[in-house]
């Protein structure tokens, strides 16, 4: 009896704590959605601050039609997809050679890939600005695609390196003996086996590019070249921030990232290699 | 690939030795920028103090909140997978969205945080959280903890699940308390993971730009300026690009120390 009672107390405390976490994590999101559905006047109305009343969709319509939102969205997609695609090609080649080919310093180089990923944009943004302005690429989307390689290439390389190392070398050796060339092995055996890893690396690179702010502020200053984060921040008249519109735009920017994240979660679990070795 | 990053860093150092302005080529003044930063620039001293405070309290907060999250999820609860995914939301949401949402929630006149605190009777007058020098830093840190704790929570949870269950069973037989089990089994079991996540988070937090830039712009009166926001202000709003390079170049010593501490830990975690 006593033990049962203790269990009930323990469980109540546990779920209470969990509830606090869920509320603290969810509340800002709930409030964001509420704000996005309110007129600029209702946003400041204290009487209905927390209740879902007087909701309208006007902000979404205004944001999509009445601003540069569509241009920013397109820019974000162009920059995200192309910078991730380029990084993925470089990353696949770099990671494969680091995982399989033994050359002088290959281990040190493998570790330094991670350190390269850790070099922050706060250190690199000024030299990148100068380099890109010397290349006459300032205020083009190329500037961002190029700048994002500084974090996307180390990231995809590091991630794929871990993935390639889990693929048994025996599989590749068999193919090499059968007369397949190195690149053939890469294309026919390694890439299909690491498909989940490649998809995950692409999605993470894409979201990192999608969320990037500092390079985007510095390198593409003209309104028609902005990506979503910088564009959305400019929703203000003089010093007044239009919170309803900002939150509507912020939700539009968050939904793709959330959707991709849910997609990746499934991929990560799959783990294709286990099956191929056992069979 | 090394060139991709070695070149810009060499370039940053080269520029930090010049008195270059935006759009104008400068001349070499050698260590003039560094001397000015370290001896004359009072604002830079605030930036250093702010960065240390911001990083220490943010990372400490993320460790505590993340550790409790991991302990809750590691206990026998229903729908663990779903809750883990749900609590990861702050980490997945774009940082600029988080920063803008919290800025709105902190609003001095119509912010929901003031509304809740006033309704509960915890404060009598609304507080201008982000506009007051005494509260701005705390408000920014709270947001940063909210954004970053799930990274600790999920990493620590993975480490906790790798701890063999019979260790806890043996401790139960010996009559150990939960507290003793936490300190003698759980903490040693997650030590390497905790060290790695702490170092990574320290690097990211020390170099933060977005949260401060979007929430306070470094204000009020430089109370929340960090290295990155100050370098941006000096370089792109004030056009002293050489001086700004020197500011961000001073981030390298901290980065090198962190990477040197990280290196053996990575090897250790690969062996485990």
What confidence tens digit (pLDDT) does each residue in A123-168 have?
A: 889 888 988 988 888 889 999 999 999 899 999 998 888 888 888 8
pLDDT digits (tens, 9 = 90+) for B99-147: 999 999 998 888 899 999 998 989 888 888 999 999 999 999 999 999 9
- C-beta atoms of A121 and B98 within 8 A: no
Nearest CB among A17, A49, A127 relative to B112 is that of: A49
pLDDT digits (tens, 9 = 90+) for A49-75: 788 877 888 889 888 887 788 999 999
Three-state DSSP class for residue B9 = helix
Of A11, A27, A59, the domain-final residue: A59
Residues A77 and A169 grouped into a single domain: yes
Cα separation, B112 vs B108, whole angstroms: 9
Residues A155 and A29 grouped into a single domain: no
pLDDT band at A271 (very low <50, low <70, confident <90, very high): very low
- Among B98, B101, B116, pick the best mutation site for testing chain A contact (most A Cβ within 10 A): B101
Which residues of chain B neighbour A113 with C-beta distances below 8 Å?
1
Put simply, whether B98 touches A (Cβ < 8 Å) is: yes
Residues A38 and A77 grouped into a single domain: no
Q: The domain containing residue A28 runs over which residues?
A: 2-59
Put simply, whether A136 touches B (Cβ < 8 Å) is: no
Residues A70 and A201 grouped into a single domain: yes
pLDDT band at A33 (very low <50, low <70, confident <90, very high): very high
Return the pLDDT at A267. Answer: 59
Residues A107 and A39 grouped into a single domain: no
Report the phi/psi class of residue A14: left, alpha or beta, with left for phi > 0 and alpha for psi in -120 to 50.
Answer: alpha
Residues A131 and A79 grouped into a single domain: yes
Three-state DSSP class for residue B271 = helix
Do residues B143 and B211 make contact, with C-beta atoms less than 8 angstroms apart? yes
What is the arithmetic mean of pLDDT over A78-92? Answer: 95
Residues A128 and A246 grouped into a single domain: yes
Residues A214 and A174 grouped into a single domain: yes
Of A100, A119, A99, nearest to A160 (Cα)?
A: A99
Q: Among the ranges A234-248, B48-62, B74-88, B186-200, which has the highest mean pLDDT value?
A: B48-62
More confident residue, B93 or B268: B93
Which residues of chain B neighbour A150 with C-beta distances below 8 Å?
4-5, 8
Task: Enter the tokens of residue A2.
Answer: 């006593």
CATH classification of B26-271 is 1.10.3720.10, yes or no?
yes
Please give the C-alpha separations between residue B165 and each of A118, B74, B150, B189, in angstroms, as whole numbers: 35, 12, 24, 12
CATH number at residue A221: 1.10.3720.10
pLDDT band at B235 (very low <50, low <70, confident <90, very high): confident
Determine which helix (DSSP H) or strand (DSSP E) holds B21, and give its type and residue range. Answer: none
Return the pLDDT at A21. Answer: 95
Nearest CB among A25, A116, A131 relative to B89 is that of: A25
In the predicted model, is pLDDT for residue A276 greater than 60? no
Do residues B105 and B84 make contact, with C-beta atoms less than 8 angstroms apart? no
pLDDT band at B1 (very low <50, low <70, confident <90, very high): low
Task: Enter the tokens of residue B134.
Answer: 């005494």
- C-beta atoms of A90 and B12 within 8 A: no
What is the arithmetic mean of pLDDT over A263-269? Answer: 62
Count of domains observed in chain A: 2
Nearest CB among B94, B105, B110 relative to A211 is that of: B94
Do residues B146 and B90 make contact, with C-beta atoms less than 8 angstroms apart? yes
Put simply, whether B259 touches A (Cβ < 8 Å) is: yes
Strand partners, B24: B21
Residues A84 and A23 grouped into a single domain: no
Residues A70 and A86 grouped into a single domain: yes
ipTM for the assembly: 0.88
Return the pLDDT at A266. Answer: 61
């Amino acid at each position: 009896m006593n033990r049962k009672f203790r269990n009930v107390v323990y469980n109540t405390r546990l779920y209470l704590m969990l509830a606090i976490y869920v509320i603290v994590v969810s509340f800002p999101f709930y409030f964001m959605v509420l704000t996005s559905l309110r007129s600029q006047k209702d946003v400041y109305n204290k009487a209905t601050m927390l209740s879902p009343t007087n909701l309208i969709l006007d902000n979404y319509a205004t944001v999509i039609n009445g601003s540069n939102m569509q241009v920013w969205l397109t820019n974000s997609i162009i920059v995200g997809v192309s910078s991730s695609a380029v990084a993925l090609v470089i990353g696949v080649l770099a990671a494969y050679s680091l995982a399989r080919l033994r050359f002088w310093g290959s281990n040190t180089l493998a570790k330094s890939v991670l350190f390269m990923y850790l070099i922050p944009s706060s250190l690199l943004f000024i030299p990148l600005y100068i380099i890109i302005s010397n290349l006459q690429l300032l205020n083009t989307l190329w500037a961002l695609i190029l700048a994002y390689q500084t974090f996307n290439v180390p990231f995809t390389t590091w991630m794929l390196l871990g993935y390639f190392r889990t693929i048994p070398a025996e599989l590749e050796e068999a193919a090499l003996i059968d007369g397949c060339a190195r690149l053939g092995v890469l294309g026919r055996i390694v890439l299909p086996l690491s498909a989940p890893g490649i998809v995950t690396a692409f999605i993470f690179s894409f979201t990192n590019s999608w969320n990037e702010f500092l390079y985007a502020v510095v390198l593409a200053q003209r309104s028609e070249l902005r990506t979503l984060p910088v564009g959305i921040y400019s929703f203000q008249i003089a010093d007044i921030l239009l919170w309803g519109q900002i939150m509507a735009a912020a939700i539009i920017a968050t939904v793709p990232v959330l959707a991709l994240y849910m997609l990746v979660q499934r991929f990560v679990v799959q783990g294709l290699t286990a099956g191929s070795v056992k069979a | 690939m090394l060139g991709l990053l070695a070149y810009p860093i060499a370039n940053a150092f080269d520029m930090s030795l010049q008195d270059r302005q935006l759009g104008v080529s400068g001349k070499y003044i050698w260590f003039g920028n560094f001397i000015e930063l370290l001896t004359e620039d009072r604002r830079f001293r605030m930036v250093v103090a702010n960065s240390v405070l911001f990083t220490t309290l943010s990372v400490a907060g993320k460790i505590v909140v993340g550790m409790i999250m991991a302990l809750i999820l590691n206990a026998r609860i229903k729908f663990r997978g779903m809750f883990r995914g749900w609590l990861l939301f702050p980490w997945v949401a774009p940082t600029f969205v988080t920063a803008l949402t919290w800025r709105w929630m902190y609003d001095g006149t119509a912010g929901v945080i003031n509304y809740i605190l006033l309704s509960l009777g915890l404060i009598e007058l609304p507080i201008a959280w982000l506009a007051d020098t005494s509260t701005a830093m705390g408000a920014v840190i709270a947001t940063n903890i909210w954004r970053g704790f799930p990274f600790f929570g999920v990493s620590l949870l993975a480490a906790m699940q790798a701890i063999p269950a019979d260790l806890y069973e043996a401790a139960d037989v010996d009559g150990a308390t939960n507290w003793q089990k936490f300190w003698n089994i759980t903490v040693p079991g997650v030590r390497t993971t905790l060290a790695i996540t702490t170092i990574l988070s320290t690097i990211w937090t020390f170099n933060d730009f977005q949260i401060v830039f979007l929430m306070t712009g470094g204000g009020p009166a430089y109370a929340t300026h960090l290295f990155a926001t100050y370098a941006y202000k000096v370089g792109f709003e004030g056009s002293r690009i050489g001086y700004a390079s020197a500011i961000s170049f001073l981030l390298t010593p901290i980065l090198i120390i962190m990477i040197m501490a990280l290196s053996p830990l990575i090897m250790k975690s690969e062996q485990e």
